[in-house]
Amino acid sequence: MTLELLLNIYLKAGLSALKTLYCCGDDCTKEDPLSQESFRKLALPLLDSKQHHSKLVCYITKELMDTENPPQVFPNGYAYSTKALEEMAKKNNGKITCPRTALICSYSEVVKAYIS
């Protein structure tokens, strides 16, 4: 057993992965956990993450999602690559299934995700 609470250890592990040079400034987005003062205090002694740019990888194809293969978002919020969903739609007469929740919908119901 450790002297520190396991919850604190897990929070610090997650926050250290999120903590970059850009996240602790005044222009930090509200969606970022480090925009909250309590999380900032917990992350203060932690090292910054070396990851400056995120990469999205499709859960289905394991391929990078980028401008050539943009993410498409299901009505339930899960995102997969355009390539994967187009292939699935071709095989199933325009119907696609979310592999995580088994939600079935038409390919026309997914929307393109824009990353900024």
Least confident of 19-33, 73-87, 99-113: 19-33
Tell me what the pLDDT averaged over the chain comes to. 84
Bigger pLDDT: 103 or 115?
Answer: 103
Q: What is the CATH number of domain 56-112?
A: 3.30.40
Whether 83 and 69 have beta carbons less than 8 Å apart is answered as yes
Q: Structure pTM? A: 0.56
- Which token pair is 94? 């325009």
Question: Of the candidates 80, 86, 83, 88, which has an alpha carbon nearest to the alpha carbon of residue 57?
Answer: 80
- Distance in Å from the first CA to the final CA of the chain: 42
The strand pair at 79-81 and 95-97 is best described as unpaired
Alpha carbons 82 and 78: distance in angstroms, whole number: 13
| Complete DSSP assignment for 3-59 | SS-HHHHHHHHHHHHH--TTTTSTT--TTSGGGSHHHHHHHTTSPPPS--S--EE-T
Q: What residue ranges do the domains of the chain occupy? A: 6-43, 56-112
